[in-house]
Structure 1
């Protein structure tokens, strides 16, 4: 209990130090956390500086509380300080002006916090969230009500799987393929649910706890569809398995920028590749 309380105080200091530094550097602040980091709280209240409103997100544990901080307060998926941010916004506007909906695919959606971030940043986008845990999806429906929730795992081919570490923290679930009752969907399977007559692929976010090894092993034609790919690799979690190798092979064949930001890699289409895709 003492260690947990110390960690909660440290998280509090880190969160507000982050806000203070952004103020000092005259950088925008979108969300301020209001509730403390007590483990018994099952929700997090935040204040939206843009819309001047309070809202709450549902959580079950301290680790999920940390996920809220990382995504909304510390802005781990934010591109506003990248030199290519203007191009990302222009691409979004182009899709909207064409009469279609920008499509954002959230692979490994956990409890819906990343889907909530994207829905607030790109208000005209259609967001689909693929997550293997039914319990996580139940919370994600509350936290990101405007996103479509799909129970399953994203892989290279259609199939079945099961969660191999059900006792892990909710953000750390891994899947084993070939048996179980959870469907495995390819990216193309998901895209077929959102036809190109109505939707244009825009961003895909991938945080699937090492299963990227399978996802990028084959059937990767979809890479050229998405203007931005955000991926967290997991060699650190699964040493001596080279789980990032297939991603690196696949992405190296494309003309894309490779930007490392915190735990994530942002892969952004370059101008010539965009022209080819169109």
Structure 2
């Protein structure tokens, strides 16, 4: 059964990621079990996969399963219209990938929206290093930081050695915290917030605690909820309130909640929002 499972997985990899993706097996044999390997993903390019990490599963989920594809064709077309309209106005759409991990999600957004400015926010140094390598070809800006509702510092905890389960806790020292308005405000003139993707292991409770006006500026808000990690704490309560306040429409795509802003359209909108005061 083990061999049959892996055979099926490799067949699916070849079909959706391209036959060259399977060459990672040769690279692993040539370089040893402890080495990272470079893989080729059809339509994307070369990516680094670390051994003893979740990188393979992340790449499969994002590129093979199309995890960030908007599941409703009408909503997908609406978002495409906003993207084209911003470009036609001479404005550059900004995509913030909060919790970028190894950069695969930022690469997906870069392929899907090639003229957008993508900012990948990742607090874990090892993940941030790999994200830079995996997104250099797309000109993604990788910010080694956590994201929250206000500036400050966080400690990195948990994970148990996993590359995709590092949590952040407010503290007096550690990794810096940036906000969505700060990120947008630091970009060149003419940039406009377009998409925000949030996968931050429960720190969404902080991100959506207050100063959520930026939610209304997004065309799409992706959130991977983590209430299951923190029973009884309501870590997504602020996110749900912000979605209701800004009248966002909710879709579900695999493990992500996908909020589409039905008010987003081709008309003028805010650019380079200044940081909000708490």
What is residue 158 of structure 2 aligned with on the other side?
A: 165
SS class of match (2:234): coil
| Gap regions ≥5 residues in structure 2 | 271-278
What is residue 198 of structure 1 aligned with on the other side?
A: 190
> Matches of 1:247 and 1:12 in 2, distance apart?
40
> Matches of 2:226 and 2:5 in 1, distance apart?
25
| Correspondence 1:22-41 to 2 at 5 A | 33-35=21-23, 40=34
> Matches of 2:124 and 2:45 in 1, distance apart?
28
Correspondence 1:78 to 2:66: no
Q: Is the 8 A contact 1:31 1:73 kept in 2?
A: no
| Correspondence 1:112-127 to 2 at 5 A | 112-127=103-118
What is residue 103 of structure 1 aligned with on the other side?
A: 94
Given the alignment, which residue of 222, 231, 234 partners 1:239?
231
Correspondence 1:63 to 2:63: no
> Matches of 2:166 and 2:7 in 1, distance apart?
26
Q: 1:177 to 1:10 in 2, by over 3 A?
A: farther
> Matches of 1:259 and 1:273 in 2, distance apart?
18
Given the alignment, which residue of 40, 43, 66 partners 2:37?
43
Correspondence 1:207 to 2:199: yes
> Matches of 2:157 and 2:149 in 1, distance apart?
18
Q: 1:262 to 1:181 in 2, by over 3 A?
A: same
Deviates more, 1:95-104 or 1:33-42: 33-42
What is residue 169 of structure 2 aligned with on the other side?
A: 176
SS class of match (1:75): coil
Q: TM-score, normalised by structure 1?
A: 0.84
What is residue 180 of structure 2 aligned with on the other side?
A: 187
What is residue 151 of structure 1 aligned with on the other side?
A: 144
What is residue 220 of structure 1 aligned with on the other side?
A: 212
Q: Is the 8 A contact 1:34 1:44 kept in 2?
A: no
> Matches of 2:70 and 2:235 in 1, distance apart?
26
**Residues 74-106 of structure 1: CA distance to partner in whole angstroms, max 9, x if unpaired?**
110012653311111111111111112110000
Computed over aligned residues only, the root mean square deviation of the Cα atoms, in angstroms, reads: 2.7
**Residues 13-35 of structure 1: CA distance to partner in whole angstroms, max 9, x if unpaired?**
24645887xxxxxxxx5756424
> Matches of 1:98 and 1:104 in 2, distance apart?
17
> Matches of 2:227 and 2:46 in 1, distance apart?
36
What is residue 229 of structure 1 aligned with on the other side?
A: 221
What is residue 23 of structure 1 aligned with on the other side?
A: none
SS class of match (1:128): strand
**Residues 172-207 of structure 1: CA distance to partner in whole angstroms, max 9, x if unpaired?**
100110233210111111111125x32111111000
What is residue 25 of structure 1 aligned with on the other side?
A: none
Q: 1:199 to 1:248 in 2, by over 3 A?
A: same
| Gap regions ≥5 residues in structure 1 | 21-28
> Matches of 1:11 and 1:81 in 2, distance apart?
31
Q: TM-score, normalised by structure 2?
A: 0.84
Between the two proteins, the alignment pairs up a number of residues equal to 261
